[in-house]
Structure 1
Amino acid sequence: MTQGTGGTAVGEQMVFGPLTITFDARVLRPRTWTAAQSTWAAQLLEDAPAGPVLELCAGAGQIGLLAVHDGDRRLVCVDANPVASAYTLQNAAAAGLGDRVEVRNGDLAAMVPADERYALVLADPPWVPAADTGRFPEDPLLAIDGGADGTTVAVACVEVAAAHLLPGATLLLQLGNVEQVGAIAGSVAAAHGMTLDSTRVFEGGVVARFVRA
């Protein structure tokens, strides 16, 4: 990672809502449409239980940062890519949220201790089926490869959310299409006490709301 003055990374920048997000080619380029996931999360947080927000597969952190930007919730961001995690720290500081954001780098389940509970979980896992990843050579494989049917990492996100959401709290899960949402809702979500509440379809993908009983 190229370092600029003050130890910050020098990468490409883009506007994401009111935020300026820095990233490079080793991190998935933020998709502008995913700000809708942040907006939905911010709306839900107005009536959510007291507690922090957890972002899984956080990338450069833009979705979670935008979700909590206008509130006072603490945000925990988890990603397997150390470069992405470094950018999340930098982007949190640039947004004036450094004191409210904790970044953890590593396996999803291992990074969330058993006793932690969250008011909302955001997840933007890789959801491209493995056989189709060659269609996106500009994207880091780690950030897009969702396994055979594109839901392998999404399933892990549901399992983590189910174990750590407060009762009545929400998981907002980004996926590629409604078929993937249906597959998860009918199997792993139900098995872990999660109910599909609603799905919103956007140009670049879908966001599904699952609620913990």
Structure 2
Amino acid sequence: MNKIAVIPVRSGSKRLPKKNYKSFNSKNLAQIARDKCLASGIFDKVIISSDDPVFKELINCNEVEFLQRSDNLANDFATTDMVVDFFFDKFPFCESILWVNSVSPLQSIEDIKKCGLQLNMPDVDCVMAVNTLYQHCCIANEPLNFNPNKSFEKTQDLQPIQRYIYSCMGWKRSTYVDNRSRGFKGLFPGKIGLVEVSVLAGMLVKYEEDFILCSKIDQAMGN
């Protein structure tokens, strides 16, 4: 079980209650992520992890397993690094873990595959899915990639912004576990591989309107 995809599925959700239980064009969000991970053909195992054992029903083949998460790893105070620590502890022999977010239902099989294959590269320790934006951007009211005192640049001439979109992220065990054991507090130790994925992958289901919009796009695309 060298390369694992993990699909975290919380039972609770403040902004859109029970979103992981809702039908998204005949499937729930975890089912969609599961099927795309399996279709990518690059994982030895696909793990669905939740605090609610009802999601154990999503096991549909030998390549899929369910991992029960305790309440303290599924509440509003649980941080991502705590959950990743838990995953590596539960799968001590895996080489890498790719976190595939169920709330990105429009990410494609190819999006997931690109992230997983990048994580396999020898010079990469962790990966983040990104969208590259050619837009005028600011941080704390200060221009980031443009000069407001000069002529207004064409967007294609701007220094692009790489926005992390949360659809996928992943880690190699050797680097992650070693750094965490030595007191590293961050989530992305070592060399980060930024993976350009589709714009649709960046459409996350956080609110009711997101769910409706994404489902309509999915229907329009014939999925």
- The structure having more radius of gyration, on CA atoms, is 2
What TM-score, normalized by structure 2, do the two folds share?
0.34
Q: TM-score, normalised by structure 1?
A: 0.36
Higher RCO, 1 or 2 (CA under 8 Å, sep at least 6)?
2
